[in-house]
Amino acid sequence: MLTSLQIKEEANRLHDSEKNKKQVAATTNYFPEMDINDAYQIQEEWVNIKKKEGRKVVGYKIGLTSKVMQVAMNINEPDYGTLLDDMVYENGCEIKTSDFLDPRIEVELAFVLKKPLFGDTLTIEDVLDATDYVVPVLELIAARTYRVDPNTNYVRTVKDTISDNAANAGIILGNTRINPRDIDLRWVGALLYKNGTIEESGVAAAVLDHPARGVIWLAKKYTKHNITLDAGQIILAGSFTRPVVVKAGDTITVDYNSLGKITCNFI
């Protein structure tokens, strides 16, 4: 178990990395014996730093739910993190690439709640009942710590990713809001194009066989910390494609068929 001082120092190191726009060595390089609980405490302290700077929590995310994402990150369990108000972008936005460290894009669905979710016996029906609408969303992920350290080739672990707020950096919301009971969410598909060339495709069932299961998993995790997923919050259900690297000059367009398109330009 890390001490409270170690947790605060590591959260500040990650915060400084983001502010200085310079990646740093993974947390487990310094604390190889740390556990998952330590990682979430670092993440919580990092969020507290953000709150002190005036940021507000607008939702939460689950990550690494699909097999394709777990393979990409070389792990075997999901993680979760916090969405803040300055992370939200609109469809058609321009994003300054240099503001982010090792940025990548993922394809997801978001559940916007109208009722709170709390408890360890939740079902898909509970999630659908609590959802105001579902909207297509892209997640912009980044890495304050090296995914692969250029000096040592050390590959960061899930504990490093968790400490790093589950790699979240931003979300780009689509325009189409749907009642979660109007379509079979398992069969929502998407095609991701980078600069006009298709890079990825997938269907939402890749997330635990139903994207609502991602929300269930997340709600149960936060219930253990006595945190409720509240009405009005945006809940990212998990990516159903691998992350696609982006750089300045790239245009990302994701076609969700009947649910519309999301476009963002990296400048």
Q: pLDDT tens digit string along 65-114?
A: 766 556 656 666 678 899 999 999 999 999 999 999 999 999 999 999 99
Specify the CATH number for the domain of residue 248: 3.90.850.10
Portion of the chain with pLDDT greater than 70, in percent? 95
Q: What is the pLDDT of residue 73?
A: 60
Q: Is 115 within the bounds of a domain?
A: yes
Residue 65 domain flag:
yes
Q: Which residues on neighbouring strands pair with residue 261, listed in sequence order?
A: 255
In a domain, 23, yes or no: no
Q: What is the mean pLDDT of the chain?
A: 93
Mean pLDDT value across residues 146-174: 92
- Judged by DSSP in three states, 228 sits in coil
Asked whether 223 and 217 are in contact (CB, 8 A), the reply is no
Strands 234-236 and 104-113: antiparallel
C-alpha torsion angle, residues 117, 118, 121, 125 (rounded to 10): -10
Query: To 10 degrees, the CA torsion angle through 121, 223, 63, 83?
Result: 130
Specify the pLDDT at position 68: 58
Q: What is the DSSP letter of 152?
A: T
Running DSSP on this structure, what letter comes out for residue 115? S
Domain contains 18:
no
Domain membership of residue 153 (yes or no) is yes
Closest CA to 86 of 41, 62, 50, 113: 50
3-state secondary structure of 238: coil
Q: Would residue 27 count as lying in a domain?
A: no
How many domains does the chain divide into?
1
pLDDT at 70: 63
The reported pLDDT for the residue numbered 203 is: 95
Burial 151-182 (b: 16+ CB within 10 A, else e): eeebebbbbbbbbbbbbbbbbbbbebebebee
Q: Is residue 126 part of a domain?
A: yes
Range of the domain at 248: 56-266
**Does residue 12 sit within a domain?**
no
Residue 226: alpha-carbon gap to chain centroid: 21
Residue 112 CB partners (closer than 8 Å, separation 6+) = 131, 132, 133, 134, 135, 177, 232, 233, 234, 235
